[in-house]
């Protein structure tokens, strides 16, 4: 999503330039073609191979679900 959202400004400028050079309809086809294969970024990334959500999340100093971990407090105290 960051890749998609981050390229909006660049795409807008490119589409305006391309639209004035080759026309609106060809520009729409040219700019739509990369979107048709953009799913490959996700499919070929490590995220595309994940089948289950992780059971725990790294929570830093707090324990699971934001509850203070007594073992951490004892070790620090």
Mean pLDDT of 60-74: 54
Q: Between these two residues, 26 and 72, which has the higher pLDDT value? A: 26
Q: Express as a percent the part of the chain with pLDDT over 90.
A: 14
Residue 68 has a pLDDT of: 56
Tokens representing residue 24 in the block: 């609106």
User: Does the pTM of the predicted model rise above 0.85?
Assistant: no
Secondary structure percentages of the chain, helix, strand, coil, to 5 = 70, 5, 30
Tokens representing residue 51 in the block: 């089948």
Mean pLDDT for the chain?
74
Position 57 pLDDT exceeds 80: no
Residue 61 has a pLDDT of: 53
């Amino acid at each position: 999503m960051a890749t998609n959202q981050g390229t909006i400004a660049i795409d807008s400028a490119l589409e305006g330039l391309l639209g004035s050079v080759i026309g609106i309809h060809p520009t729409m086809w040219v700019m739509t073609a990369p979107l048709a294969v953009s799913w490959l970024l996700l499919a070929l990334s490590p995220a595309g191979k994940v089948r289950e959500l992780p059971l725990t999340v790294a929570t830093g100093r707090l324990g699971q679900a934001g509850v203070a971990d007594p073992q951490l407090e004892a070790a620090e105290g």
